Structure 1
Amino acid sequence: MTVAHWVVQRALPSARLARARSVPSPRRSDDDHSRPEESYLVTVLRGVFAYDRRPALWPARLAPPRALLPRLPIVLGLRLFPRPGGAEALSLTRALAGLSAEARAAFVLCSVHGLPHDAAVDVLEAAGAEDADGAVRDCRAFAADEVGAARTLALSEEFDACVLQATPTDLLRRRHRTRLALVACLAGLLTGALLLAQLAPDPAPVPTTALPAAASGLRAADLTRAPAGRWDNTARIDFTAWPPRGSRVEDEQLLSRALSTWSRPGSGTRVVTTAATSAAPPLSAPQLLYAGEVDAHAVVLLYDGQRLARYQEDLRSQAPTRLDVARVDDADVTTAAAVSLSSKSSGARYLIAPWVAEVQSRDLLRPDVLATALDTTEDGVSEPVPFTAGSEGGCDSRPVLQLRSSARIAERHAFLLAGLGDLSPVHLTFTPLPGHGTPPPRQPREATGPAALVAWSHQACALSDLRDTDSRAVNAWDFAEQDLPDGGGRAVWTCMRETSWRGPGHVAVTLRVAADGAKALARPVSRVRSTALCSRFGQHIVAGTVWRSPRGNWYALAAGSRAVTSLTVSGDVTAKTSARTVAVRAPKRPRFEVSAQLATGGRMQGVMDEK
C-alpha cells in the first residue's frame, strides 16, 4: 500500500498545471460508463511498471535512485499510514500478489473502472505494457467467478490509494528531538564563534601588568558581597558566608585591577596555581572576601564558588603583581576557617572566618604545653604564624593554629589547622585505637584531645613532606597496638592519610615504639600513593616491617586493623596467627610478605617496609 500511495502522489501534476486543469478522479460510479481520463491513468501505470522493473538486488554500497524509493507524503507533527483492511481485503491482496504488475493493472482498469477489453489494452500499451492483451485475459480469468465481490472490495477505502490515516507523532520523542536540535544549533554557533576567534589576529600587547577591567567584562561593581550577619543565620558555613572585610573594600580601582588580573593576567604578573587548579577567569562576578593592606602589600581575596584567588601588589616597589589561585570546592566549617593573606619566610598572616570565636597557636611537638592566644585585628587578620612545614632542615618546632568555633553555629568545638604554604591551611584530625569491646569511631575526630596530641607529636615532622602539595586534610589513624618482645615495650601502628582538594590521597604507615622515648619520631614503614587505604572507602589495612629489639635480635613485625581475623607471614620467615599482630624471630634484615584474612571473608595483602 505504501508503494501505491507513492505512485499516485508522483503522478499528481505540479501546482502550475493543477491551476490550468483539474485532476480527474480515478474512481467511477456504476452508472458512469464514459472513458476515464487516460493521461492520468497512463502516468500512474507507468510509475507502477517502472517500480516493478527495478533491479531485484541493488548493490548494498550504493544508494538506490530516488525514483526507486517509495515514500509517503511528509507532514510535520503527523504520522501517515494506509488504512488497514479486513480479512476479505487481506485475501484479495494475497490473490493479487500472485499476478504480474500488468495483470493487476488490467484488473483495476476492467473491474474498477469498467473499461472494455480493447480500451484497457490501449491504456496498458500507452503505459508501456509488454503484453497488454495477455494481461487483460489474465485479469478476466482471475475475476471471472467473483467479479462483483472483487470489484466492490477494490472500490472500498482499504484499496483507495488516496486515503491515509493520520496520527500525532510521539510527543515525548518530538520534544527530545527538538531539544537535541536546539543543542546542536547552539554547539554549531559556539564552534563557529571559536573558529572566528582563533582566526582573528591577536591584539597588540598592553605594556601594563594588567588589562583594564572593561577588557575582561567584569567590573568592581559586579562583585558579590555577603551580608555581615549571614554566617550566623545559614546552614551553609563556608566561604559563601564570609562578609567583605578590609580597609579597601570600596577601592574600585584596586578591585578592578584584581578582577582584570584574574581574567587576563598581564605579562608582568606572576601566576601561581595549586595542583590541578585552573587559572581561567571566573565565569561570573566572584565574591569579595577581603581588600586591604597586609605587610606593605595591597591584597584582594576573591572567591568564585570553586576557587580562591589572592591578588597582591607591592606598595613599596615596582615589583610584579602576584596572583595565587587554589581549589577550595566543598570547603566546610573547618577547611574554610582561615586563608593566608601573606606569605613570608617567617610565616603567614591568616584571615580568620567570622564564625571563629577563639584563635590560638600551639606546637605539635609539645603536646603537654597549652595553646597560646593569637592577636587578630578588627578585620580578622592574625599576627604572623610560622609555617608548620618549615623550609629549614630541622624539626625543632611545628606550630599550628588552634581555632574554636562560635557557640552560635556549633557546639563550640576546637580544631587544628596547619600552614603548609598553600592559601588554605590543612585540617588535622585523629582516629584513635579501637577500644576493647567497643566499636571504632565512624569518622576522624578533631586532633585536640590528649591522645590525639600525643599521636601527632610523633608524626608532626613528616608534615614537611606535604609543603605546597594542595593538601586539604591529614588524618592520623592508630589502627593497631602490640607488645614487643625482648623488653621492647608497647608499639602503636599508625596510618597517616593526606587527602588533597583534588580527591586522591596518599598514606604513610609508621610505627612508634615506647622504647624509643616519649619524643622520638615514629619509624616510617611504608608509603602508598593514590590509594583509598585508611579512608571511608578503604577501611582495612595490613602492614609489616623489620624491627631490631633492644637485645639486638631481629624480628618480623606485622599488624592489621580491627577487621583482620588472621595473619600469614611468608618469605625468610613463616608464621600464621589468629591474632591481629605478630612478632616472629628472624635472621638479620629478613625479607618477607604478610597477608590477612578479613572478617568480611576476603583476603588483603599487606603494605611492606619501604627499605
Structure 2
Amino acid sequence: MQSQDVAPSPAPASASSSSASDPLVDVEQAEAALVEHYPRLVRLAYLVLPPGLGRNRRVLTAHALTQRALPRRRTPVPVIPAQSTGREGDPGYACVRLRVLRTALEAGLPLTFRAWPKRSQLPPLLPHVWGLRLFPRSGGADELALDQRLSALSGPGRAAYVLRGLEKLPDGEVLDALAAAGVDDVDGALEEADTVAARYPLLDSPEFDPCSLQARPTDLMRRRQHLKAALAAAAAVAVCGALLGLPGDGWAPDGAAAPAYAQNPAAQAALDPDRVTRVPAAAWQSAARTDFSVWPARGDLTHDKALLRRALAVWARPGETVQVSATKGTPSGGPAGPPQLLYAGAVDNARVVILYDGLRIARYAEPKDSTKGAALDFARVDGATGAEASAVVLGRADGNVRYLTAPWVTKAAERDLAKPGSGAMDLPLTDGVTAPLAGPLQQTGACTSWNVLQLSDASGTHLSTDLGELVPARLTTGRPGSERDTSGTRALRAWAPFACSLSTVRSQGVRSVNAWEYATQPLPDAGGSASWVCTRAETWRGGGTRVLAQFHTPGGAYGAVAAKAENVPECGPRDPHVLAGVLWKSQAGSWYLLAAGSRNTASITATGGIDGVAQGNLLAVRTTQGAQAGLKGRLLSGRKIDALG
C-alpha cells in the first residue's frame, strides 16, 4: 500500500562561483571523488575521446584514463565547480575531472616523429578484454545524429560541448577548464561547440554510457585464420601420425555433416539480395491471416541491390562500428534463410531497410551520405496478427516518429491519450508511411500528455503507443480474457488518468498493455466515488509482465499507483483477480485505509497495524497517517488471495 502524498522534487542546485585560491587536494580526497563519480567521469572521457578510435577502444580508453586520473601526491588544482549537488565546490572532483579531460584531449593528438608518444595516445594495457568487443547500448536516431555531429568537431570543441551539457558549466568556467587542460585556442573551441545544437539531455542517454555495455565477439574469421596459421604445422604432424596408427580407412566420416571448409547454402542464400522474399501488393486481401508475412515490399529503394546487400551482410555479421540493439528476449543472430523485404527507402536523413524472418523484425539504417554510423535493431514479433502487426517504426528524429503501416490500414491519426476529449489529428499516409508523429515525452517531472498512434482498418480502430522499440505496443481495455481495443469514448476515458504510467514499461519488449477498471468505491466523508484500475503489460517473450494497481479519485488528473508486481498471474487471463489498498486523506482531514478487490471477492481483512473486516469487495477503515497494514481477501469460491505486490 502506498500513500497518495508525494514529496516534490528538489530544486536544482545553483552554480557556485570559482574560488580565487587554488586548494591542495589530498590523494584520499581525489580517490573518494573518483570512486563516487566514476560513471560520470568515464562518460566525460568517452564523449571527449576521438570517435575514430572505434567504440570498443573508446570504452576501454575512457576507463583507463579515468582510473589513471588519481594523482600520486597532493596536487594544487583550480576549483571549477560542477553544477550538481554532491560535486559543487569539491576540489577532489575538480582535480580528477581536469586530469581526465587533459588526457582525453591528449589521446586525440596525432602521433609524430618529433616527440615520444604520450601514454594516453597509446592503446591502454588495462583494462583489456580478450575475444570480446564492448560498446554502450544503442540509443535512438537523436543520439546517433548528435554522435555524428560531435565526431565532426575537434577534441577541444567536443570538450567544450560536453562541459556545457554534461557538467553544466557556464561559458566562463568552460574556458577556465579548457585552459587548465592545456587547450591553446579556448575561444575557438567554444565557438566550434556553438555549431552543434544544444541537445544536452541526450548526453545522459545510454548511448554515451561506457559503464552499461553490450558485448559482441571480435572478428571470428580473422581469429580463426590466425589460429590456423599458428597451428598448421603441428596439426599436420598430428594428423599424419594418427592416420599411420589407424587401420583401414582412418577416421570415420562425420555422418551427414558437410566438410568443415564447405559453406552453408542456406546461410549464403540469406545474404543474396536477389533472393529476398517480395510479397505481391494484393496478397493480404486473400490471405487467411493478417500478419507481417503478407506485407508487400514498399519504398523507393526496394531494387537497390547494393543497399540490400549491405543490410543483409550487417545483419549476418555486424561490424565493430555498427550500433546493435534488440528488445528483451530477441535473438540478434543472422537470418536462417532469405528474409522477407518489407521496406527499403529514404527516411529523413537515413536510408532504411526493414526485413522480416518469421520471428523478428530487423531494421537497418545508415546515413544518406555514408555507410558509416550504421544501426541495426531487432524486435520479436512472433504470433503478431491484426492490430499487433499494423505498424513498425521507420525512424525517429527530433522527438518525432515515422511509422510504416500495414497494407490493410486505411487511416492514421495522432491522439493524446491523457486528454480523451481533445480528438484525433489525422496523419497523412504515403505508400503506407505516416507523417511525423510527436512521440511520448521522456517524462522527468509532471506528465501532462501522452501521444499515441491511432490506426483504422476494416475491423475498427486501434491504439498503439511508442515505448522506444521497433513495434509499438497495443493498448486495450476490459476484463482479462475479454480485452478489446481502446477506441470508444468510455475506453478512452478509462485510459486517460493512467496514460503516464506507460513510461514505467519503456524498452521492456512490451506487446500490449490492458487497463481494467475492476472496482469503483464510494469515498468516506462524502468524497464522491473513486475507481480502481489494474494495468497489465504483456511482453513478446511471455515472461517479464508488469502489473500496476492504480487508484483514481474524482477530480484528479492522474491515478496513483497503489501496488505493483512483476511476473504474477493476477490481473491476467489465467487469474483475473486483484486486491490492493491505499492510505487516503479525505477533505475533512481524516485518514482511511481503502481497499478494493475484483468483483468475485467475498471479503477483505486488514491485518497488522490496522484491524478491519468487510464483506464484499470494498473496505474502508479509519486510521492514522503512516499506518502500516496487510491485506487478505477471500473469493466467492473460498480461495484466499493476497494483496498485489
Q: What's the TM-score once normalised by structure 1's chain length? A: 0.61
Look up the equivalent residue of 1:424 and give its one-letter code: V
Shift of residue 600 of structure 1?
A: 2.1
Q: In the superposition, relative to structure 1, how do residues 394 and 553 fare at CA in structure 2: closer, same or farther (>3 Å)?
A: closer
Q: Tell me the distance in 2 between the aligned counterparts of 1:383 and 1:392.
A: 27
Deviations 1:185-215 (A, max 9, x none): 999665x97xx68xx9xxxxxxxxxxxx997
State how far apart, in whole Å, the 1-side matches of 2:354 and 2:363 are.
5
Q: Alpha carbon RMSD of aligned pairs, Å?
A: 2.3
CA contact (8 A) 1:572 1:586 kept: no
Partner secondary structure for residue 438 of structure 2: coil
Name the amino acid aligned to 2:605: T
> 1:214 and 1:592, CA in 2 relative to 1: closer, same or farther beyond 3 A?
closer
Gaps of 5+ in 2: 1-251
Structure 2 residue aligned with 1:26:
none
1:513 match: 553
Displacement after TM superposition at 1:389 (Å): 4.7
Distance 2:473 2:253 in 1: 43
Q: How does 1:202-351 map to 2 (within 5 A)?
A: 218-317=271-370, 319-351=372-404
Counterparts in 2 of 1:301 and 1:318: CA distance versus 1, 3 Å: closer
Residue number in structure 2 paired with 1:180: none
| CA distance in 2: counterparts of 1:426 and 1:441, whole angstroms | 17
Separation in 1 of the partners of 2:580 and 2:342?
A: 45
Structure 2 contact 481–572 (Cα < 8 Å) conserved: no
Q: What letter corresponds to residue 582 of structure 2 in structure 1?
A: T
CA–CA separation in structure 2 for the residues paired with 1:495 and 1:302:
36
Residue by residue, what CA displacement relative to the aligned partner does 1:518-556 show, whole Å, maximum 9, x if unpaired?
5x2101111101112111012111111211111111111
Question: Are 1:389 and 1:420, in contact at CA under 8 Å, matched by a contact in 2?
Answer: no
Say if 2:434 is the partner of 1:382: yes
- Specify which structure has the bigger relative contact order, considering alpha-carbon pairs within 8 angstroms and separated by 6 or more residues: 2
Q: Residue 601 in 1 paired to residue 641 in 2?
A: no
Q: Which residue of 1 aligns with 2:420?
A: 367
1:533 and 2:586 aligned? no
Q: Distance in 2 between matches of 1:235 and 1:214?
A: 30
3-state SS of paired residue (2:421): coil
- Deviation (angstroms), 1:587: 2.3
CA distance in 1, matches of 2:443, 2:372: 24
CA drift of 1:318 comes to 5.6
Pairing partner for 1:567 from 598, 604, 609: 604
Q: The residue matched to 2:433 in structure 1 has which SS? A: coil
Stretch deviating more after TM superposition (381-390 or 273-282): 381-390
| Conservation of the 8 A alpha-carbon contact between 1:387 and 1:420 | no
What's the CA shift for 1:588? 2.2
Secondary structure of residue in 2 paired with 1:588: coil
- TM-score scaled by structure 2? 0.58
Which residue of the partner structure matches residue 142 of structure 2? none
The structural deviation recorded for 1:359 is: 0.7
1:425 and 2:472 matched: yes
Unaligned runs of 5+ in 1: 1-184, 201-212, 432-439
Q: Please name the residue that 2:614 is paired with.
A: 577
- Cα distance, 1:227 vs. partner? 1.3
The one-letter code sitting in structure 2 at the alignment partner of 1:249 is: T
The one-letter amino acid paired with 1:568 is T
Distance 1:479 1:289 in 2: 40
1:117-161: per-residue Cα shift (whole Å, max 9, x none)?
xxxxxxxxxxxxxxxxxxxxxxxxxxxxxxxxxxxxxxxxxxxxx
**Residue 581 of structure 2 corresponds to which residue in structure 1?**
544
Alpha-carbon distance, 1:607 to partner:
2.2
Measure how far apart 1:388 and its partner are. 2.3
Distance 1:285 1:426, change over 3 A: same
- Within 2, Cα distance between the matches of 1:313 and 1:352? 21
Give the direction of change, closer, same or farther, for the CA distance of 1:326–1:442 in structure 2 (3 Å limit). Answer: closer
2:531 to 480, 483, 492: 492
In 2, Cα distance between equivalents of 1:221 and 1:542: 57
User: Contact (CA 8 Å) 2:551, 2:561: kept in 1 or not?
Assistant: yes
* Preserved CA contact (<8 Å) 2:401 2:437: yes
- Write the distance in 2 (CA, Å) between the matches of 1:607 and 1:554: 22
Cα deviations by residue, 1:258-292 (Å, 9 ceiling, x for unpaired): 11111111222111111111111111110000011
The aligned counterpart of 1:403 is 455
Question: Deviation at 1:345?
Answer: 3.7
2: distance between equivalents of 1:290 and 1:326?
15
Which digits, 9 at most, give the CA deviation of each residue in 1:559-580, with x for residues without a partner? 1101111111112221222221
Residue identity in the other structure for 1:359: A
Match of 2:486 in 1: 447
From the superposition, tell whether residues 475 and 230 of structure 1 become closer, same or farther in structure 2 (CA, over 3 Å).
same
Which of these residues, 474, 481, 489, is aligned with residue 520 of structure 2?
481
Runs ≥4 residues deviating over 6 A: 185-188, 213-216
- Determine helix, strand or coil for the equivalent of 1:262: helix
Q: What's 2:244 paired with? A: none
Cα gap change, 1:187/1:484 in structure 2, threshold over 3 Å: closer, same or farther? farther
Work out whether residues 216 and 263 of structure 1, in 8 Å CA contact, stay in contact via their aligned partners in 2: no
- Cα contact 1:418–1:426 (8 A) shared by 2: yes
Between the aligned residues of both structures, percent identity stands at 39
> Structure 1 CA distance, aligned partners of 2:328 and 2:519?
33
Q: Measure the CA separation in 2 of the matches of 1:539 and 1:186.
A: 57
CA pair 446-246 structure 1, distance change in 2 beyond 3 A = same
Question: Which AA in structure 2 matches 1:512?
Answer: H
Aligned to 2:212: none
Give the Cα separation in 2 of the matches to 1:451 and 1:186.
69
Aligned AA (2:442): G
CA 1:389–1:526 in 2, change beyond 3 Å: closer, same or farther?
A: farther
For residues 529 and 473 of structure 1, the distance between their equivalents in structure 2, rounded to whole angstroms, comes to 15
Change (3 A) 1:441 1:471: closer
